Amino acid sequence: MTQVRQTNPWAVLSVLCLGFVMTLVDLTIVNIAIPDMTDDLGSSIDQVLWVVNAYTLVLATLIITAGRLGDIHGKGNLFLSGVALFTLSSLACGLAQDPAQLIAFRAVQGVGAAMLMPQTLSIITDVFPPEKRGAAYGVWGAVAGVSGAIGPTLGGFLVTHMDWRWVFFINIPIGALVLLLGLRVMPKHTRVIKHHYDLPGVLLASAALFCLAFGLTEGERYDWNTWIWTLIGASVALIGVFLLYERGQQDNEPLLPFSLFKDRNFSVVNLVGIAVSFGVLGILLPTTIYLQSVLGFSAMKTGLVLVPLALGSLFTAGPAGILSEKFGGKYILTAGLSMFGIGITWILLSAETDSSWTAFIGPLFVAGLGAGCTFAPMGSEVMRNVPPHLTGAASGVNNALRQVGSVMAGAVIGAVLQAQLVSQLREEAATSATKLPAPYREGFTSAFDGAKTVGVGTDQGGGSLPANMPDDVARTFHELAGKVFSNSFVDALQPTMLVPALTMFAGAALCLALKGGPTPSGMGHKTPAGPESNTTDQDASVAG
């Protein structure tokens, strides 16, 4: 058997985290630049939404396949190839001259992210001995927890002081550094036996995930019409066909090894991961719109207001990883999701039309503390009993379900916010119209009828003014329109954020089903006896 060079696992972890942070920041940093993109490229709202959705859709579709490819062709190889593709496509996104180019390059970015993302947790599990994995998972969890939260802050700074294109250009020096260091420290892959590639499984899984992600992502835009429900139904049917096919492939290196789900912790943590996706999106999406649209904060100020979320996560992520390895992740996850839910609930109770930014320091910090207690323990528990030759598949499944969870969260939270906002706008407009002279009341209320989009700006609602309106009536018209939107959004925000809050509390209860206890030294991730013992590509890379 060819010897694999030994490497410092902490150097490997540093490279992995640098690559991982690019993909996670990219999920949130683009949102803050949407208004500037729209103006510069002359794009429609639908086109700009696809700048966000193309990335998420491709990432969710390909991530299981990429995880399994890492098991077959080498996790380090897939990781570095993904980093290279992600970096080049980031350059292309920054140079895009029209919406179509930007959407296409964002899709390519999604391919690169799908290639590298599932390899991170898998490689950590492979290169670290059991007694050091807790600390490693803690670092990985801190990066995961903080990355998404710093996206809006970093994006606000770049958009305000530079240009929207820099939300993509910022990836280039990071990607170059990851490649430079990765080529030196990443464990080499040595092919010792021929692997089976489950092409039918790849096609079925990709088609099922695409139909599901597309249907959920575009459902609200198309009013949940027949075609959307047909796509969702097709995804369910394809998932059924995929599972039936995979059942017959379990002795032949399947894309989805069913043995993974025999472990209760693996199954439970994947469900908890979906819940956490609801929490992350449920706190960032409504809060970001509220801060800018209702309170009138700039992109930069909005990003700074969200800093306590990142600080809270950074504070708990490292200790949570170590403690979960020492005592088990059961109660740490339960406490983390509970704090996350409390933070979200606190925000919805604090949100008013005239709230100060200081009102959100406490709830965001508490939510961040909770978020920091989730990522590292989830990584530890989901990989606890996974054998080395399946770590890529396990990480791919875990990441795919979290991405699908994000898509589901976006669809559900967006639909609730939209429906609540439309209802509240109509009620508020009807009440406020009584303060206008009778000839202008119908025009005022009709301006808010059938509202279909949530704006991000300070001039909200009211439409164009009727001809020959007196100046004093026009001022009242505009003032009332602003108040209608602000009051309506705050009223809509509360039931909307109740969805992720309740999801967090349900996830906390689900964590009680985890098997508790520490990871026994040397237990888990053992190479099984027999031919499969040669299917690992990094066993010899562990350095003490």
Residue 450 lies in a domain: no
Q: Are 130 and 248 contained in the same domain?
A: no
Q: What does the alpha-carbon distance between residue 313 and residue 273 come to, in Å, rounded to a whole number? A: 16
Q: Are 183 and 222 contained in the same domain?
A: no
Q: Are 248 and 259 contained in the same domain?
A: no
Q: Are 230 and 346 contained in the same domain?
A: no
Range of the domain at 341: 9-188+253-420+489-519
Ranges in the chain, pLDDT < 50:
1-5, 190-193, 452-463, 520-544
Residue 98 lies in a domain: yes
Q: Are 405 and 335 contained in the same domain?
A: yes
Residue 318 lies in a domain: yes
pLDDT given at position 180 = 92
Q: Are 149 and 110 contained in the same domain?
A: yes
Residue 455 lies in a domain: no
DSSP letters spanning 269-324: HHHHHHHHHHHHHHHHHHHHHIIIIIS---HHHHHHHTHHHHHHHHHHHHHHHHHH
Q: According to the 3-state scheme, what is the secondary structure of 95-138?
A: HCCCHHHHHHHHHHHHHHHHHHHHHHHHHHHHHCCHHHHHHHHH
Q: Which of 411, 496, 507, 402 is nearest to 24 (CA)?
A: 402
Q: Which of 318, 195, 326, 268 is nearest to 510 (CA)?
A: 268
pLDDT given at position 362 = 93
Q: What is the number of domains present in the chain?
A: 2
Q: Are 383 and 292 contained in the same domain?
A: yes
Within 13 A of 243's CA, how many CA atoms are on the CB side? 9
Q: Are 136 and 71 contained in the same domain?
A: yes
Residue 534 lies in a domain: no
CB 410 within 8 A of CB 373: no
Strands (E), 117-265: none
pLDDT given at position 109 = 92
In tens, the pLDDT along 111-166 reads 998 888 878 877 887 788 877 777 777 777 777 767 766 777 777 788 778 888 89
Q: What does the alpha-carbon distance between residue 262 and residue 472 come to, in Å, rounded to a whole number? A: 71
pLDDT given at position 85 = 94
Residue 454 lies in a domain: no
Residue 434 lies in a domain: no
Domain boundary among 211, 227, 252: 252
Residues 6+ apart with CB under 8 A from 48: 34, 37, 38, 99
Count of beta carbons in the 10 Å neighbourhood of residue 417:
23
* pTM of the complete model: 0.72
Residue 476 lies in a domain: no
Q: Are 347 and 376 contained in the same domain?
A: yes
pLDDT given at position 5 = 45
In tens, the pLDDT along 179-229 reads 999 888 887 654 444 555 667 877 887 788 778 777 877 776 777 888 889
Q: Are 128 and 224 contained in the same domain?
A: no
Q: Are 141 and 68 contained in the same domain?
A: yes
Q: Are 213 and 272 contained in the same domain?
A: no
